[in-house]
Amino acid sequence: MKAISDILPSISYGGDYNPEQWGEKVWYEDATLMRKAGVNLVSVGIFSWAVLEREEDRFDFTWLDKVMDILHEHGVGVCLATATASPPAWLSRKYPETLAVDDKGGPYSFGSRQHYSPNSPVYRRAVKKLVTKLAERYKDHPALKMWHINNEYGCHVSECYSSNSLEAFRTWLRRRYQTIDTLNEKWGTNFWSQRYNYFNDITFLNNTPTFPNPGQHLDYKRFMNDSLFELYMVEKKILRDITPDVPVFTNFMLEFKPLNYFSWAPELDVVTWDTYPDPREGTPEAHAMQHDLMRSLKHGQPFFVMEQVTSHVNWRDINVPKKPGEMRLWSYSAIARGSDGIMFFQWRQSRAGAEKFHGAMVPHSNDEQSRTYREVQQLGQELKQLDSLTGAVVPARAAIIFDWENWWAVEMEGKPHNKLSYLEQVKAYYHTFYKRNIAVDFVQPGGDLSSYDLVVAPMLYMVKDGEEKNLEQYVESGGTLLVSFFSGIADENDRIHLGHYPEPLRHILGMHVEEFVPMADGERNQLSAESKRYHCSTWSDVIHLDTAKAAATFDGDWYEGRPAVTMNHYGKGKAVYVGTAPEQTYIDELLAELIKERYLSAPALAPSHVEIVERTSEKGKHLVMVNHNQEIARVDLDPYASYIDLFTGSEVQQETVVGGMDIVILRETEQK
Amino acid sequence: MKAISDILPSISYGGDYNPEQWGEKVWYEDATLMRKAGVNLVSVGIFSWAVLEREEDRFDFTWLDKVMDILHEHGVGVCLATATASPPAWLSRKYPETLAVDDKGGPYSFGSRQHYSPNSPVYRRAVKKLVTKLAERYKDHPALKMWHINNEYGCHVSECYSSNSLEAFRTWLRRRYQTIDTLNEKWGTNFWSQRYNYFNDITFLNNTPTFPNPGQHLDYKRFMNDSLFELYMVEKKILRDITPDVPVFTNFMLEFKPLNYFSWAPELDVVTWDTYPDPREGTPEAHAMQHDLMRSLKHGQPFFVMEQVTSHVNWRDINVPKKPGEMRLWSYSAIARGSDGIMFFQWRQSRAGAEKFHGAMVPHSNDEQSRTYREVQQLGQELKQLDSLTGAVVPARAAIIFDWENWWAVEMEGKPHNKLSYLEQVKAYYHTFYKRNIAVDFVQPGGDLSSYDLVVAPMLYMVKDGEEKNLEQYVESGGTLLVSFFSGIADENDRIHLGHYPEPLRHILGMHVEEFVPMADGERNQLSAESKRYHCSTWSDVIHLDTAKAAATFDGDWYEGRPAVTMNHYGKGKAVYVGTAPEQTYIDELLAELIKERYLSAPALAPSHVEIVERTSEKGKHLVMVNHNQEIARVDLDPYASYIDLFTGSEVQQETVVGGMDIVILRETEQK
Amino acid sequence: MKAISDILPSISYGGDYNPEQWGEKVWYEDATLMRKAGVNLVSVGIFSWAVLEREEDRFDFTWLDKVMDILHEHGVGVCLATATASPPAWLSRKYPETLAVDDKGGPYSFGSRQHYSPNSPVYRRAVKKLVTKLAERYKDHPALKMWHINNEYGCHVSECYSSNSLEAFRTWLRRRYQTIDTLNEKWGTNFWSQRYNYFNDITFLNNTPTFPNPGQHLDYKRFMNDSLFELYMVEKKILRDITPDVPVFTNFMLEFKPLNYFSWAPELDVVTWDTYPDPREGTPEAHAMQHDLMRSLKHGQPFFVMEQVTSHVNWRDINVPKKPGEMRLWSYSAIARGSDGIMFFQWRQSRAGAEKFHGAMVPHSNDEQSRTYREVQQLGQELKQLDSLTGAVVPARAAIIFDWENWWAVEMEGKPHNKLSYLEQVKAYYHTFYKRNIAVDFVQPGGDLSSYDLVVAPMLYMVKDGEEKNLEQYVESGGTLLVSFFSGIADENDRIHLGHYPEPLRHILGMHVEEFVPMADGERNQLSAESKRYHCSTWSDVIHLDTAKAAATFDGDWYEGRPAVTMNHYGKGKAVYVGTAPEQTYIDELLAELIKERYLSAPALAPSHVEIVERTSEKGKHLVMVNHNQEIARVDLDPYASYIDLFTGSEVQQETVVGGMDIVILRETEQK
């Protein structure tokens, strides 16, 4: 298959298009408005099953034929959805077993969306039929650019407790453990009299009187991830068979815990995701982090923003619109961090239904002079100038270890501290890189670390077989590794690595932890480092040094004077351990020192808060600069390079100026 | 049928009487104490089904015969309940299908009350049998004054998800929409693949994975209102047939969202309601508003307070008793606003059961010297002097638009702001009228507005067919209309009125809204009007003027300087739009100006906080004055009129004095 | 049977031992470490059902034989568990009816523990079989010291709504009430149409639309207590038959409302309980109170701490470890108050399962130098010096009335104040005794009060038949009784004692209450006593004096000037009533006066906060002194006595010194 940037050589621009809500006359109006707005790609049919297959085996593609044709005539490509995201009423009524079952044992109701059980054989059979029909019908349509499989898998229903799911769980366990004795050993069922004699003894944990078996609980999360992934693969296989040259994907979500996107990404031709920052939060740093994560899922390959909103959503309690200019600014933040597509939900705001107050590219007023449409049009026209960016990567020499299975495990019940947030710890370290414009990738603990100078592993509670070796080799061969508290505790079945914590990392870190001292909400301790004092909270480790040296010590409580942060030389590298949650200032200073030691730097220098990211391909090296301030910002460039400003076409050297809430994109033309 | 004030020519006074809790000896004691207390009416048998029909078809009326006779002998009339409010254990056991089903799909348990499904045919059949027996037996009993049908419909169970209810819902939908295509169109089912092929495809929304279809959700609320109303009509029909001259009613509740009381009122011979202010809230303004609403349900016809408590309830978390004098004061507040009955729950405080700590007219001590009984007795004696008040109406030239369907719709999920409270917005405008003693009615948006000078429509999100014309004609012919934010948005199926908001009212208001800017809890903006500044919160509209002028503008945020409040001349009238939730001071000043323009005024002038309401009939014009202050208050009267004080019998002119926490009631005797 | 202190003549020391989690090699290591640590007793097999009966009727005792032998060889006694606390997977799968059913009607899931229904005949049959097998096998094993029946009955599942439980409930009701008419009378079912015709009409109250019948609700609590107790008795009977000389018990819990431990205690040979103070709360006063309660359950007989933790639990949100020295200190607090055993959960920290982060005597590191093991070892060695303490009682001349049935009743719904906490009221009065080192027992309202000078009855809402007489006789014959607000209101069926509150106690107290005035959260009033002023909150009574005198009056609100606290002489005694919840200072001063009047005193005098408790037996009179301060404390001793310090062996007279966070235990050797 060709690279996505060959199939879609410009920045893709458009949105979800649900024409079945409107009559044919509106379709022509839509296509004309799309062209005016610079739209070149729309996602069609995401919720169209009920109007494509009106009763079992009664298909009706005539309306979609027409829509595809109109779009193609107007130069708009189609990312065609497989329409399986919400099965129709007749399926639920005829086959109630297709309904997912909630943790109280009741089936979900028809009447919103995503009510299907991923493990229903009948649902899977119906999916296969529909996808096959669609692929056969449109395989040669010239508008077809990509396949949009299902939609936001697991968004509302990521757990199912149906009897079909139970059968599938037992099968999944048999495949994973082979024998029931192995399962018993891995789950530690000898505690609390939980031993199983047969795989068929195993039931769901949805209504246990108290804390369930952690091994089983963790495996249920794995199983549900795999169930939804299998469902994706059912569709992918059909599409690949019938249209081998058309890229396929599904769309991911923000900070979505139930699905291990690292395990999905190899089977997506392009990673896409839906970004909905709450404007009340100001600059969406969490979304910037997610852009970096999404880019990392396929090792740097550009991703797509498959959904965002022009103005406001309607599913929060209080849905504030983006202020003038914010939609544009945040779109470029995505592009800076590796996005080759800027898509919206949805094209035209609904008249009825659950999302009628969700913003769209064309508002209820249908007014071309509306702020919304004018902003859409401006951005669409600008993006046409950025073809050279597509396919370009973001070079990074730092990485943060991220692992969904660790996320599941560390936030399960029965821990020393049961309000720990894995993401909060990750974000604390990400923040330093983000603020300093140091490009950072995300990588799994067993992933390839060889290209990084600095790797941070926040709260890596679970260390699985082989990951210990991977981290060891990284440090041994010269890498700098920072590990934070409550790391190296459990194996892949959430069983303790017996010995002194963190047993598998102890030799790399040169220290061990005797006791954990969780802190209550609002409780604080202090640490001293080089005669400076900092707050810390959440957690303290009672640390013993082996070969490491203390870099900071605790100032209070009964473990006063003991090490809080340690540094150890191991092989050619260096391993730092942070045995608490220090205030952000300390993290910034500690990481800044490591960044400096490893000669990492921003692509250009600017006052805060200007995002500057480098994107590079054979088409050139670009600097994307997004000024989140109200005031203009002066940026110092590489003095040995010359650039061209992609918007103005003018040549730039030494420095440039980015207007308040504005964007500059430079392509390097020469390096002296 | 005769007017209620002909059947009950004095203010009715008494309470719920549940004699089955006590032996016959106590019944005689009760009747004697009632006479002493001035009681002339009691509601008997509300929860007596189990002792009237002891097993299926085994009826026992002997005890009730006795009770009726004793009461009659003591001069106490009976408001006889149909006893259907809580079916007996044998019915639940023999016919489990009579149990209502909750939103988790489980049947309610027997053991408290109101566990029946309104759509159970078996329950309805049993109801018919019991009501027929009761009516036949007591139709000629001289004590019988009124029929009390069931009790507080929907109080605990206003939703039912049984299979009987589902069948009934489908039938209801068939009747409403005729064809499934119409239903699909009205519900907008083409979004999210929700199209139905048959009415029998439709199921309940009780367990949808996310936001349900809004049209269906709204219709379910209509359906449940109608289900309970049909149940009421089943009983009414029987009673009307057998006792055509005996008035019937059921008792309503405070701010009760599930039932559209406007749709019920035409079938009640008198509106009655149960008022339970929390003494911790001080003067019960919300209950005053409810009195005005109850009076408006039958277009000004006097209503009854069917339940209140002498002292304290027992169903709040913390149940504070009314202070000495408060029960009396608040009773007169009800009378002032149109009540012809002051009734209590209950006569004698229970020894056992769920309400044994709920206050009563006779406390556990059975002590005639108790504060409770003394206050009861005092009020009972006073009311005997007020016969001329019964049947009198409260003349009002201002009205607030109120619509239960709008309430349902605007507070459903998926809105721009999902913490909006319709009642809160209504109350903000009611407050000004209340504080200034300007009489105000409530009226539906399609109701007759011709008698009002000033009409306020707070947050009228839903504008149904014809309502737009009704409001237009009102303004065109000279009325003053005030409309507040988030009005004119949706039709009766909660589908957007496409175009610029508020499309159906835009021409009347002379402006349109481009964007909504909901504000977070605690967030505020400011508005300026005539060089004064006010806070506003909750919501801002981004407004464009068509023909209107700005009366106030926003002072902050990105829409600074744009109109916040607008005024438009339309026909002979005037239309004001308030595009935010201003602080109370601004609302008070704005409304005061409109009140002044339309020459509305209080019936007499007094310092705050003296309630003064006019009640007028052919028996005369009365001023009811309730002084909520601790201090005495001087009231300036119409200088051209003479009055008689109904309590003292003395003549009054020019001015009068109302003692602290005291009441004066004047009847006009002469107008010069 | 011999006294426990004859069977176990030293302080018992050890913990739960779950060897099935580890291999045989570890068992030998365990036994060696136990001996080093001074362990002399372990509880084995609490969760071993699945490995003892591997499938129905397939028993395997070989591993347990080995464990018992090893322990015995190392001088460690065994408290053998009956292993019924968590039935195995095969039982749940083969007999789903053994699963308890929750209040939504769904069965609990297998996969944690305690998922059984206490009323399942199949579960009971399986229990009998297992317990018989165990008893037969180990009845003559020399290691066997005691039987540990089940574990923490009701901890997670204290309510069951299965059809088996419903059948059992009906049977229980038949036994209690004989006729349905009696039941109707006692439950007051004539209110709300709740009359039952047959016992089989009765269903559970788990899903009533609103407040359930209080009599039925209360009886359900009694029934569930009795169901679990019957289960205990099933096991006890078997064990007593087979091993008549081996003591049996089950372990109780802190402030555990569902089980009326007073009703259980006569059938336990020793009371044991599990104490888990949260170190964040500082000195565990609530646990001290519970020690006193546990000692009182068998009228002063020493109890055992059957579980505590060395350091931290893992089932709180945030699990802080005990600081160095706290485990030791709190262990001696238990010993001071009557404990003859200090046991832990568990011996060796789990590698897997739900409690792997729960502290243990041997931590994950298996390090003998760990703080945890060192503290365990120190305490174990110390306890060997305290043999003379075992069997000794704590003499007390004051008592607090405590009644589980009152607890259930007063905190049920529908009260004047529905946030009342019975324990909070009890603790307020306990606090004074605790702080002043005045020994205090707990006693039921119908219990023997003859040995007490001072009895406090906080919030004794329920006064059952005969209890009134018991209290009357106590005061009449010279006792001092303090009763606090909302006492004497209801009978054993939660029906009002008609008349003036508190009807059954009115004559003793010489006053009555006309009205209750509950206060909102944060609301306060004031009371004046002897020209001093105090805050009070939660509740005020409007009191009329009969023969009593006011000892304090309210200073505010509409009942200002009325009595708040009253004193009455009755017979030879005195009865005090406190009609509000005063601030702690007032309670302390009021009780101090009564303590002084009755010449009660601490066993020795020390600055706060040194706990000093006397324990006495034929082996001598001991003073156990636990210094909770950081600073050393000087203690003034009885000048006429001589003592020996049990730890140092030195003679002590006049005074002694207790180090900061340290303990001194003296035995009196001579009294001049």
Q: Give the nearest partner residue to C216 out of B51, B85, B111, using CB atoms.
A: B111
Contacts of residue A166, Cβ cutoff 8 Å, sequence gap at least 6: A203, A204
Mapped onto helix, strand or coil, the DSSP state of residue C310 is: coil
Positive or negative torsion for Cα A426, A431, A433, A437? positive
DSSP E strand stretches across C444-531: 454-457, 480-484, 511-518, 524-529
Q: Give the C-alpha separation, C368 to B442, whole Å.
A: 80
- Pairwise CB contact (< 8 Å): A314 & B416: yes
Q: Which secondary structure element, helix H or strand E, spans residue B70, and what is its range?
A: helix B62-73
Q: Give the C-alpha separation, B378 to B383, whole Å.
A: 9
Instruction: Specify whether the backbone of B582 is left (phi greater than 0), alpha (psi in -120 to 50) or beta.
Output: beta
Nearest to C46 by CA among C2, C91, C90, C79: C79
Q: What are phi and psi of B447, to 5 degrees?
A: -80, 175
Which of A357-366, B232-241, B601-610, B628-637 has the weakest average pLDDT? B601-610
Chain C positions touching B89 (Cβ under 8 A) are 194-197, 201-202
Q: Give the C-alpha separation, A90 to B202, whole Å.
A: 10
Chain B positions touching C211 (Cβ under 8 A) are 112, 315, 354-355
Q: Is C537 on the interface with B (CB under 8 A)?
A: no
CB contacts under 8 A, A 241-280 vs C, are none
Residue with tokens 């309980």: C273
Mapped onto helix, strand or coil, the DSSP state of residue B324 is: coil
Neighbours of C121 (CB within 10 A): 14
Q: How confident is the model over A83-138, as pLDDT tens digits?
A: 999 999 999 999 999 999 999 999 999 999 999 999 999 999 999 999 999 999 99
pLDDT for res B570:
98
User: Is A235 assigned a catalytic role?
Assistant: no
What is the residue-wise DSSP string for B256-271? --SS-HHHHGGG-SS-
Both tokens assigned to B366: 């059975």
CB neighbour class for C520 (10 Å; exposed up to 12, middle 13-18, buried from 19): middle
> Do the bridges between strand C610-617 and strand C620-627 make them parallel or antiparallel, or are there none, so unpaired?
antiparallel
**Nearest C-alpha in B relative to A22:** B190
| A/B interface, count of CB pairs below 8 Å | 185
- Binning chain A into helix, strand and coil, the percentages to the nearest 5 are 35, 25, 40
Q: Give the nearest partner residue to A319 out of B200, B205, B417, using CB atoms.
A: B417
Start-to-end C-alpha separation, chain C: 38
Q: How confident is the model over A340-373, as pLDDT tens digits?
A: 999 999 999 999 999 999 999 999 999 999 999 9
Q: Give the C-alpha separation, A206 to A209, whole Å.
A: 10
Fill in the DSSP letter of residue A203: -
Q: Are B363 and B411 in contact (CB under 8 A)?
A: no
Exposure of B212 in the CB half-sphere (CA atoms within 13 A): 20
- Pairwise CB contact (< 8 Å): A214 & C20: no
Nearest to A231 by CA among A360, A427, A87: A87
User: Does B608 score more than 90 pLDDT?
Assistant: no
pLDDT for res A670:
83
To the nearest whole percent, how much of chain C has pLDDT over 90? 98
Amino acid at B507: H
Chain C positions touching B356 (Cβ under 8 A) are 188, 214, 414, 495-496
CB neighbour class for C390 (10 Å; exposed up to 12, middle 13-18, buried from 19): buried
Q: Give the C-alpha separation, B348 to B351, whole Å.
A: 9
Fill in the DSSP letter of residue A267: G
Q: How confident is the model over B453-493, as pLDDT tens digits?
A: 999 999 999 999 999 999 999 999 999 999 999 999 999 99
Q: How confident is the model over A416-449, as pLDDT tens digits?
A: 999 999 999 999 999 999 999 999 999 999 999 9
**Nearest C-alpha in A relative to C326:** A558
- C337-374 burial, b if ≥16 CB within 10 A, otherwise e? bbbbbbbbbbbbbbbbbbbbbbbbbbbbbbbeebbbbe
Domains defined for chain A, CATH in brackets: 398-597 (3.40.50.880), 610-671 (2.60.40.1180)
pLDDT class for A475, splitting at 50, 70, 90?
very high
Q: Are B593 and B551 in contact (CB under 8 A)?
A: no
pLDDT for res C282:
86
Amino acid at A516: F
Interface with A, mutate which of B191, B202, B541 (most A CBs under 10 A): B191
Who wins on pLDDT, B284 or B316? B316
Q: Give the nearest partner residue to B89 out of C190, C194, C415, using CB atoms.
A: C194
pLDDT for res C45:
97
pLDDT, mean of residues B254-271: 98
Q: Which residues of C are catalytic?
A: 152, 307
Q: Give the C-alpha separation, B264 to A124, whole Å.
A: 49
Q: Are C459 and C487 in contact (CB under 8 A)?
A: yes
Mapped onto helix, strand or coil, the DSSP state of residue C82 is: coil
Q: Are C301 and C259 in contact (CB under 8 A)?
A: no
User: Does B607 score more than 90 pLDDT?
Assistant: no
- The distance from CA C311 to its chain's CA centroid, rounded to whole angstroms, is 22
- Pairwise CB contact (< 8 Å): C352 & A519: no
Q: Is B311 on the interface with C (CB under 8 A)?
A: yes
The residues that bridge with A59 in the sheet, in sequence order, are A53
pLDDT, mean of residues A296-301: 97
Q: Give the C-alpha separation, A585 to B530, whole Å.
A: 48
pLDDT for res A282:
86
pLDDT class for A609, splitting at 50, 70, 90?
confident
- Pairwise CB contact (< 8 Å): B351 & C189: no
To the nearest whole percent, how much of chain A has pLDDT over 70? 100
- A217-243 burial, b if ≥16 CB within 10 A, otherwise e? bbbbbbbbbbbbbebbebbbebbbebb
**Nearest C-alpha in A relative to C83:** A193
pLDDT for res C143:
98
- Pairwise CB contact (< 8 Å): B365 & C496: no
pLDDT class for C616, splitting at 50, 70, 90?
very high
Amino acid at C100: A
Neighbours of A332 (CB within 10 A): 25
Q: Give the C-alpha separation, B174 to B180, whole Å.
A: 8
Contacts of residue A299, Cβ cutoff 8 Å, sequence gap at least 6: none
Tell me the H-state helices in A418-479: 422-435, 467-476
Both tokens assigned to C398: 């004051």
Interface with A, mutate which of B189, B193, B503, B519 (most A CBs under 10 A): B193
Neighbours of A553 (CB within 10 A): 18
Q: Are A192 and C112 in contact (CB under 8 A)?
A: yes
Q: Give the nearest partner residue to B90 out of C201, C203, C417, using CB atoms.
A: C201
Mapped onto helix, strand or coil, the DSSP state of residue A279 is: helix
Q: Which secondary structure element, helix H or strand E, spans residue A330, and what is its range?
A: helix A326-336
CB contacts under 8 A, C 60-99 vs A, are 83, 85-90, 92-93
Residue with tokens 């509306």: A370
**Nearest C-alpha in B relative to C212:** B112
Q: Which chains touch A (3 or more CB pairs under 8 A)?
A: B, C
Q: Give the C-alpha separation, A605 to A306, whole Å.
A: 31
| A/C interface, count of CB pairs below 8 Å | 186
Q: How confident is the model over C435-491, as pLDDT tens digits?
A: 999 999 999 999 999 999 999 999 999 999 999 999 999 999 999 999 999 999 999
Q: Which secondary structure element, helix H or strand E, spans residue C590, and what is its range?
A: helix C584-597
Both tokens assigned to A172: 């999944």
Q: How confident is the model over B410-432, as pLDDT tens digits?
A: 999 999 999 999 999 999 999 99
**Nearest C-alpha in A relative to B209:** A156
Both tokens assigned to B577: 């739009």
Exposure of B248 in the CB half-sphere (CA atoms within 13 A): 24
ipTM surpassing 0.90, yes or no?
yes
Q: Which secondary structure element, helix H or strand E, spans residue A515, and what is its range?
A: strand A511-518
Q: Give the C-alpha separation, C457 to A640, whole Å.
A: 88
pLDDT class for B498, splitting at 50, 70, 90?
very high
Report if pTM > 0.80.
yes
Q: Which secondary structure element, helix H or strand E, spans residue B123, and what is its range?
A: helix B121-138
Q: What are phi and psi of A426, to 5 degrees?
A: -60, -45
Q: Give the C-alpha separation, A54 to A60, whole Å.
A: 7
The residues that bridge with A621 in the sheet, in sequence order, are A616
Q: Give the C-alpha separation, B40 to C22, whole Å.
A: 81
Neighbours of B242 (CB within 10 A): 17
Q: Give the nearest partner residue to B213 out of A314, A321, A354, using CB atoms.
A: A354
Neighbours of C599 (CB within 10 A): 8
Chain C positions touching B371 (Cβ under 8 A) are 514-515
Q: What are phi and psi of C432, to 5 degrees?
A: -60, -50
Instruction: Specify whether the backbone of C581 is left (phi greater than 0), alpha (psi in -120 to 50) or beta.
Output: beta
Q: How confident is the model over C546-600, as pLDDT tens digits?
A: 999 999 999 999 999 999 999 999 999 999 999 999 999 999 999 999 999 999 9
- Supply angle C-alpha C460, C463, C465, rounded to 5: 160
pLDDT class for A651, splitting at 50, 70, 90?
very high
- Supply angle C-alpha C589, C591, C595, rounded to 5: 115
Mapped onto helix, strand or coil, the DSSP state of residue A454 is: strand
Contacts of residue C184, Cβ cutoff 8 Å, sequence gap at least 6: C190, C195, C196
